[in-house]
């Protein structure tokens, strides 16, 4: 979660307000599930690990596509 927060570039309070409850809900839903039967993350809790890794990866990719400061939204 720390890695995800840092990649959002949001103040901690805003991150907590906007994202933490969604992550808690996701965790409650998938915390006991594997992500697959025979491939990566095929263990108890694998779906949670996989989901959080995907979020972190998506935020990393997003950093390459940020608009310049002061640029109007497209």
**21-35 residue pLDDT tens:** 999 999 999 999 999
Q: Extract the residue ranges of the chain whose pLDDT is less than 70.
A: 74
pTM to 2 decimal places: 0.79
Nearest CA to 8 among 69, 51, 56?
A: 56
Where do the domains of the chain lie? 2-65
Contact 30, 51 (CB under 8 A): yes
pLDDT of the residue at 4: 95
pLDDT of the residue at 65: 84
């Amino acid at each position: 979660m720390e890695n995800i927060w840092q990649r959002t570039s949001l103040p901690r309070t805003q991150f907590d307000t906007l994202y933490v409850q969604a992550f808690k809900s996701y965790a409650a839903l998938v915390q006991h599930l594997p992500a697959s039967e025979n491939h990566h993350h095929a263990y108890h809790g694998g779906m949670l690990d996989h989901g959080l890794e995907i979020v972190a990866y998506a935020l990393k990719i997003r950093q390459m596509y940020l608009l310049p400061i002061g640029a109007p939204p497209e």
